[in-house]
Structure 1
Amino acid sequence: MKPTAPARQDMQAIKATGRDTRTALLTRSIRANVPLRKTFVQAPRSAACRHGPLRAFVTGRDLRGLKAYLMIVAACSSGASGWTTEHDSAVWARMMDIHETAGDASARTGAWRTLRRLENRKLITCARDGTMIRVALLREDGSGEPYDRPVGDTEENRFLQIPATFWTKGYDERIDLPGLALLLVVAREKNWTTFPADKAPQWYGWSKDTHERGLKKLLDLGLVERREHYVKAPLTPSGYVMAYQYQRTAIARPRRPRKQSALTTSTTTKSSASPSRSKR
């Protein structure tokens, strides 16, 4: 009896997706949360201008660049190699989902150009050797200084955290540029903080409309929740005014370590429950 030839596998069905690639990077970095200095979002209060490097992504409409940068921060998790990561340009393109709308050569070129934009903003350095691209982190404030792990000891070293589930659950695929910018803004502040749109141009460097659309997108995705907050206003007809306060929902909050004392948990809960209006 003539042997039956084995069925051919559907290569397209087993090929890694962009999400697969991002998940693999996060798994390799062994991180439940990705730390990012708050100065990326907003400069310290002592600065002449409060705008952080995030502003350039928003005003430049560079969603791809912002997503790529956050993934690079997540992937460069070890100081032993100088906070670097190296991959074939096809892997970089797939990580950025460029392969979905471009051929192989164009996708590789698109990935390199995206990384070069980040280098021009003094957030990374990148070098190419054949098809391999090596990226090294620089400090998040755009100063061009070498990267080191933020530890929170000074205002310039304080950091926000993005849970790895933001990528592994696919929220990064559904969010738009205003939404991602505002997710970083909300993550930068304490729970139940107000984010007045009329302050956005001064504090962050983008328009009121962008600010409002970003908060709406986060609400639609279930990444934040809001509540009404009333304050006394003697010169208004009602004698008070209402403003919305926001905080991240459970899916968007940093994952806690598995081993944590009851005392630490209790202290954190009490701190999170208290309303806050940041002066920013």
Structure 2
Amino acid sequence: MKTTSPAERDIQMNKATGRDTRTAVLKRSIRANVPLRKTFVQAPRGAVSRHGPLKEFVTGRDLRGLKAYLMIVAACSNGTSGWSTTHDSAVWARMMDIFETATDQSARTGAWRTLRRLEKRRLITCHRASTKITVTLLREDGSGQPYDRPRGDTEEDRFLQIPTTFWTKGYDEALDLPGLALLLVVAREKNWSTFPADKAPKWYGWSPDTHERGLKKLLELGLVERREEYKKAPLSPLGMTMAYQYQRTTIIRPRKPRKQATSPATASPVKKNVATPSRSEGAR
């Protein structure tokens, strides 16, 4: 029976995990929420097809690719390096949790192949120099157009937000592909919206069964909450219909930015000999 030496145990205990790596990447991006254009999930009304690039991940069963893409958006979308980020291929592999099931070289190869799939979908460009890989964001709709920060002033530019705690707390690790896809779908809509499974093929491009399994997974993990909505239906046997409405729970909603306290050095000086208005005077 093979035994592990104290030195080997110490190395294993102090080696960075995939979550450690993702957390470090997010900390460097200095943001509480990650913006993602809604066109990644679903095309705007009036388009020939309502399907967004998300469909290809779901129908292609590419969970690793979807998780990698969302992390790339998180790493690049602050714009500090021109919408790009560079890491050693081993870091990319650890970020994608590939080292858990592969050797060093196989993990590096797997990371590169994953990035190349995203490039073929026209969501990123990637360049490899020795062991370093540089990834640059493209627009989330899969058009291949250069990326720019979404501002939300048009329908094509509206965006959802993913809190960084989604990664740092490990919620991403618990989700399967239907669950992650439906989390993005729910995040795209207003609170307490309905998500009928029979509309999934037309609206998103996947099956009703996948749609229902995704919502069920989110409920099991406590990432969404559900309530019943009743409407009058004069021609139905009961005279009414019932549909479920969903919204994200608090733990997965966007974080509000912290208010910075004004330091004494930057506070506006109070002028002497000037009467301070009372609360009633200033409230008008």
State the one-letter code of the partner of 1:84.
S
Instruction: Give yes or no for contact 2:222–2:249 (8 Å, CA) kept in 1.
Output: yes
Q: What SS does structure 1 have at the residue aligned with 2:86?
A: strand
Relative to structure 1, the CA distance from residue 19 to residue 80 in structure 2 (aligned partners, 3 Å threshold; closer, same or farther) is closer
Does structure 1 residue 107 correspond to structure 2 residue 113? no
Q: Is the partner of 1:79 in helix, strand or coil?
A: coil
Instruction: Tell me which residue corresponds to 1:26.
Output: 26
Equivalent position of 2:72 in the other structure: 72
- What's 2:198 paired with? 198
Worse overlay, 124-133 or 8-17: 8-17
Structure 1 counterpart SS, 2:44 = coil
Aligned to 2:50: 50
Q: What is the distance in 2 between the residues matched to 1:150 and 1:210?
A: 29
- Which residue number in structure 2 is paired with residue 145 of structure 1? 145
In structure 2, the partner of 1:183 is 183
Give structure 2 stretches of 5+ with no counterpart: 1-5, 261-284
Distance 1:8 1:216 in 2: 44
State TM-score, norm by structure 2.
0.88
Partner of 1:273: none
Tell me the residue number matched to 2:281: none
Give, as a single letter, the amino acid of the residue that structure 1 aligns with 2:237: P
Cα distance in 2 for residues equivalent to 1:82 and 1:60: 30
Opposite residue 28 of structure 2, the aligned amino acid is R
Corresponding residue for residue 11 of structure 1: 11
The answer to whether the 8 Å contact 2:77/2:149 transfers is: no
Corresponding position of 1:234: 234
Q: Which amino acid aligns with 1:187?
A: A
Structure 2 distance, partners of 1:83, 1:203, is 30
Larger Rg: 2
What secondary structure is seen at the aligned counterpart in 2 of 1:161?
strand
Q: Which runs of 4+ in 1 moved over 6 A?
A: none
Deviation at 1:78, TM superposition (A): 3.5
- Report the residue type matching 1:228 in the other structure: E
Which residue number corresponds to residue 40 of structure 2? 40
**Residue 257 (structure 1) shift:** 1.4
Query: For residues 193 and 233 of structure 1, what CA distance do their matches in structure 2 show?
Result: 19
Deviation digits for residues 187-240 of structure 1, max 9, x if unmatched? Answer: 000000000000000000000000000000000000000000001111101110
Distance 1:186 1:259 in 2: 28
Deviation at 1:31, TM superposition (A): 1.1
Partner of 1:126: 126
- What is the TM-score when the length of structure 1 is the normalising length? 0.89
CA offsets 1:42-75 (integer angstroms, 9 cap, x no match)? 0000201000000000000000000000000000
